[in-house]
Structure 1
Amino acid sequence: MTVDCHDPERLAAFWCEVLDFEVIDRSEGKVESRQNFTTMPLMRQHSLQVGRMTR
């Protein structure tokens, strides 16, 4: 699952706490986390692009 957001670090910290995930990768404007490398899906939080339409 990929989520556009204003603060990827903060959102990733929330989901890591709630779902017992751990951060597996950080890069500029992106944080990736998952619970288990073999069984759980990946969750990505991306910085919301300025001017990008949101719903």
Structure 2
Amino acid sequence: MYGPHMCIDDGYVVSNFVAQALRRHPMTVYGDGKQTRSFQFVSDLVNNFLRLLKI
């Protein structure tokens, strides 16, 4: 999950990539690089969760 007001050093993948890019550091690939990830904007997550609760 990602969205506005994320802290640059919160440890999430997206913010780590952004922080490393801004600092011109090499990008970290976690694990062996074969894993997949799914990123979802925070408002999409909340809206879908609320829709699920209404069912």
Q: TM-score, normalised by structure 2?
A: 0.28
- Greater share of helix: 2
Q: TM-score, normalised by structure 1?
A: 0.28
Rg bigger for which structure? 2
- Greater share of strand: 1
